[in-house]
Amino acid sequence: MNLTQLKTWLKVMVSSLGGVGLLLAAFVDSSFVPLPLVTDITLMELSSLHPWRMLYYVGMAAGGSVVGCVVIHFLARKGGEMYYRKKQTQAPAWIRRLVREHPLACVFFPAIAPFPVPFKPFVVAQGVFQVPFWIFLFGTLVGRGCLFLVEGYLGARYGAQANRLLAEQKWVGLAVVAFFVALVVLMRRIPVVFDSKLSEMD
């Protein structure tokens, strides 16, 4: 069985299990075995077939993804602690500063980013660099929930066309996420520049 056949079989199996299948697929994808687009496409298909259950499907997908992320976060957190203790060193200063000053943004933006943005490396990094657990949990839940809510709505609204949109317009989604990240960085830079200008005037 090749990769394409395996993904087809997984989508059929997950669809047959409904919400439970979504929860399991999202958990596996977010934890140990990457399943690119299996959860997303199945969520859209199920929402297309049963629009009145869309919120249920979104909740199951988000819940499974969050639980899988918590497992990876915990393992990465413990692994990161042991690594830096063994090396008798600390994480790079700029990464520690970024996580300390913008912990929620470091969690939320990767969580809401659509395919093909790789999500799991960010989860690992959040554990290694000690993002506070409750911020990690909240940011991941909101981010994944928003992403799956959009996908579920598109599936319920546009049916099979939504799947094609997800596959063909993936770089548009990536560009949108990059735009919002740049906007947040710019908004945080403006007060710093403004304050420096005032200091020069004084």
* pLDDT tens per residue, range 18-32: 888 899 989 988 888
- Measure the CA angle with vertex 140, ends 136 and 141; round to 5°: 120
Q: How confident is the model over 37-92, as pLDDT tens digits?
A: 788 888 988 998 899 999 999 999 999 999 999 999 998 888 766 655 554 455 55
Residue 43: partners with Cβ closer than 8 Å, 6 or more residues away = 22, 57, 58, 61, 148, 151, 152, 155
Label residue 170 by pLDDT band (50, 70, 90): low
Domain ranges for the chain: 3-201
Q: What is residue 38's predicted lDDT score, i.e. its pLDDT?
A: 83
